[in-house]
Amino acid sequence: MANPLPTGTTTLTNAAGASIELKYCGTCHLWRPPRSTHCRVCNRCVLLQDHHCAWTANCIGERNWPMFMAFLWSASLLGAWILAFGVAQLVVEARDRRWSAAAIIGFYPATMAALVMVAVFAPSVFCLATFTIYLSSHNRTTRENMRRRLGRRRGAPPPPHPYDLGSGWRNLLAALTRSPARYGAFVGQPIPRPGPIVV
Ligand SMILES: [Zn+2]
Ligand SMILES: [Zn+2]
């Protein structure tokens, strides 16, 4: 008779004495490594999963976080560039040709369309880009940050975050270089298995 799959959680303690809880993933049949989450869309456990991005159609996590940051910041810079040069074009043309605003807008529909798109999308992209800097400088994922905020809203003290490297710059550098330091001192620690695993 097959042994039952392990359920519940196990506790992993590092050399510094900090403890974290690990859950068993019944879908992937493994104890989830520190800071990983099972993504329902990708149907697998993802290290440092921040979220499943509908725009890029994949998980944002351990391997692509710096690229995701670069994507958001380059999109923000592109939005700023379109805004600056689009407005400058309309203003200069209106001044040189002595056209009314309505005439200029009618003559440059593509510029107007680009400016409207920038006005709609760029603020949220820029806010998200800024938020990635905040998360990285605290060495948190969006999930971990939300968990802390929910706990604070309920009046509970924020749960300890054993992955904080002690300085914002150090955290940011670790995120940008995909350093193993992001996992604290839990990397390489044997995972205590309270139950047998049946595959
Ligand atoms: Zn899983
Ligand atoms: Zn996913």
CA 72 – ligand 1 centroid, Å: 28
CA 57 – ligand 2 centroid, Å: 8
Per-residue pLDDT of the chain (199 residues; tens, 9 = 90+): 455 566 677 787 777 777 788 888 989 988 888 899 999 999 999 999 999 999 899 999 999 999 999 999 999 999 999 999 999 988 888 888 888 878 888 888 899 999 999 999 999 999 999 999 999 999 999 999 998 888 777 777 776 788 899 899 999 999 999 998 898 877 776 766 665 444 4
Residue with tokens 């049946």: 198
Buried b (16+ CB within 10 A) or exposed e, 118-152: beeebeebbeebeebeebbbbbbbeebbeebeeee
Angle, vertex CA 65, rays to CA 123 and CA 59, nearest 5: 90
**Nearest ligand to the C-alpha of residue 31?**
1
CA 172 – ligand 2 centroid, Å: 23
pTM: predicted TM-score of the whole model, two decimal places:
0.82
**Nearest ligand to the C-alpha of residue 33?**
1
- Residue positions annotated with a catalytic role: 53
CA 80 – ligand 1 centroid, Å: 40
